[in-house]
Copies of this chain bind each other. A is one copy, B any other.
Amino acid sequence: MATFKTRAQYVADDLRERILGGEFKGGSQLRQDALAKDYEVSRIPVREALLTLESEGLVEFHAHRGAFTTELSVAAIRELFDLRVLLETYVLRHAIPNLTAADLDHAASILRQYDAALDSGSQIDNWSDYNFAFHHALYAPSGLPETLAMIGQLNTKSGRYIRMQLVYTREIEKAEVEHRQLLELARQGDVDRTCQLLETHIKDAAEGIAAVLEKSLRSA
């Protein structure tokens, strides 16, 4: 059961990936007709997919003018990352006391998977997914599903900019080191220091993105 996926969901998933991957620059118009031909479906599932993406904050509808990819201001990016700090330290604080050996192993295995992928020189595109998977592995034992869902929303909404930064900078190695430190501190059960590291981990990423964005704004 539940293995059925509507065309609308398929289009939404693919389109989300394309937007996050930077195929559409901020403010691009997404015409229903063109997308429908692209995916060889009618405009109905395309429209529903766009509605879904709208609710995720990736596109905006302008009545009778269509959907446009959203463009976040530097201020909005900073705000979203400040929210991430707030919510993610919150769940982490609740998760650490519940971390089992299995949880820690799972998180560690994600890091190993990533290393393997890196060594084999595979694409950088889905680092973002690995990154989120690792964070999620640390947060899941919090037993706070609603909060995790909101954190997921925040990540989706800012996802395009996270990937942008990764293209322009070499922040991944630094993030990887920090991930290992996070895991080690969590293993020791040192709540305060883990959360503090997480805070700088997220804030550094935000500053990196802000710098990239401001540079690209100046050049435009």
Contacts and interface: CB of A to CB of B under 8 A. Distances in A.
Interface of A: 2, 4, 6, 44, 47-48, 51-52, 55-56, 63-64, 76, 79-80, 83, 86-87, 90, 144-147, 150, 153
Contact of A83 (B2, B76, B150): B150
Nearest to A86: B90
Given A48-B48, A51-B51, A63-B2, A86 B83 contact: no
A80 B150 CA distance: 10
A64 B64 CA distance: 30
Contacts of A56: 55
A160 to B, nearest CB: 15
9 contacts: A6-B63, A47-B48, A51-B51, A51-B55, A80-B146, A83-B150, A86-B87, A86-B90, A150-B150
Chain A at the B interface: SS class = helix
Contacts of A47: 48
A151 to B, nearest CB: 11
Copies in the complex: 2
A4 B44 contact: no
A83 B151 CA distance: 12
Nearest to A44: B44
Contact of A146 (B79, B90, B144, B145): B79
A48 B48 CA distance: 7
A44 B42 CA distance: 13
A92 to B, nearest CB: 13
Contact of A55 (B52, B63, B79): B52
A173 to B, nearest CB: 30
Given A44-B44, A86-B90, A146 B76 contact: yes
Given A48-B47, A48-B51, A79 B147 contact: yes
